Amino acid sequence: MKVLITGTAGFIGNELAIQLLNRGDEVIGIDNINDYYDINLKLARLDRIKDHPGFTEARIDMKDREPVEELFKKHKPQRVVNLAAQAGVRYSLENPHAYVDTNLVGFTNILEGCRHYDVEHLVYASSSSVYGINTKMPYSEHHAVNHPVSLYAASKKANELMAHTYSHLYNIPTTGLRFFTVYGPWGRPDMAFFKFTQKILAGEPIDVFNYGKHRRDFTYIDDIVEGVVRVLDKPAKPDPTWDSNNPDPATAAVAPYKLYNIGNNEPVELMHYIDVLEQCIGKKAEMNMLPLQPGDVPDTFANVEDLVNDMGYKPDTTVEEGLKNFVEWYKDYYKV
């Protein structure tokens, strides 16, 4: 297939591009290489794919309508995976406009490209953050998510609503994936597992929010990418059992629309995660125990039954294995 991926210099987008190129697909990659975190890491990720004969790089910003439209017009991708976004819960308190520009304006440009150039399937990144102050565990796609606690989460919920509208109006198959705390080699420096590793190795204290009482459904990058590929290959369809008197948020009656959680289905306490990380590094952490931060939620726990039933798939990498792989990569990449 010819697949357009937004965010090919990003953590998930880069790994997905590698998998699709390795199986023989053609990939057109969009990324603006912004400076939200170290651009050298982003460029190093791109170095992994830039010379592949099936890869075409487009150094453009999603929020710029004309370049995005020209890209769709020129390449006419069969399928699209939208992974580019302004990420980060806490940063959304500091720079809200970045989330509007990329996550709302940029996503609209992608939807319009899919509409006008007959894209067969749009898969897009949502987030576990959409569950907000929901406390019923495990989180299910069939629960209402009307109470986000950060603009980042609200923008991801908006993406789901926007996708539904385009599926309904223009019969575009769209599938949203609610990612749960993705980690692993080539990961994002703004995420806790990366910061913890950096500081422990440097002998600096780590900030442990909510006094370490978080539970997170940590999901390894390889498991995430396998799930994305399986979903990409199976376009969403209408749900003939959908009931307008009891509307299911995860499906639709006439629109080819679907939402999935993609997590490890096994939440891990943050203190256990840190303990495993210490063992992998071979060094104890000094900790600053701090209260819950604005925009954060105490726990996440993904119900992945739909993903298992519809795609025959369930993530299964343990944090022990995943963190070992990450620490080995980190030490090699940063030569420490």
Tokens of 279: 């063992």
Cis ω on the peptide bond leading into residue 238 (within 30° of 0)? no
Task: For residue 275, count other CB atoms closer than 10 A to its CB.
Answer: 14
15 CB-near residues (< 8 Å, 6+ apart) = 186, 221, 222, 224, 225
- Give catalytic status of residue 333 as yes or no: no
Structure tokens given for 176: 């949203």
In 61-173, the DSSP E strands lie at: 79-82, 121-127
Measure the N-to-C terminal CA separation of the chain; round to a whole number of Å: 40
**Given strand 257-262, what is the order of strands in its sheet?**
55-58, 26-30, 2-6, 79-82, 121-127, 174-179, 257-262
Looking at 152, 220, 257, 330, which residue is catalytic? 152
In this structure, are strands 26-30 and 2-6 parallel, antiparallel, or unpaired? parallel
For residues 181 and 213, what is the distance between their CA atoms, to the nearest angstrom? 16
Structure tokens belonging to residue 2: 């010819």
C-alpha dist (Å) from residue 59 to 43, 50, 111, 124, 208: 11, 12, 19, 20, 36
Catalytic residues: 152
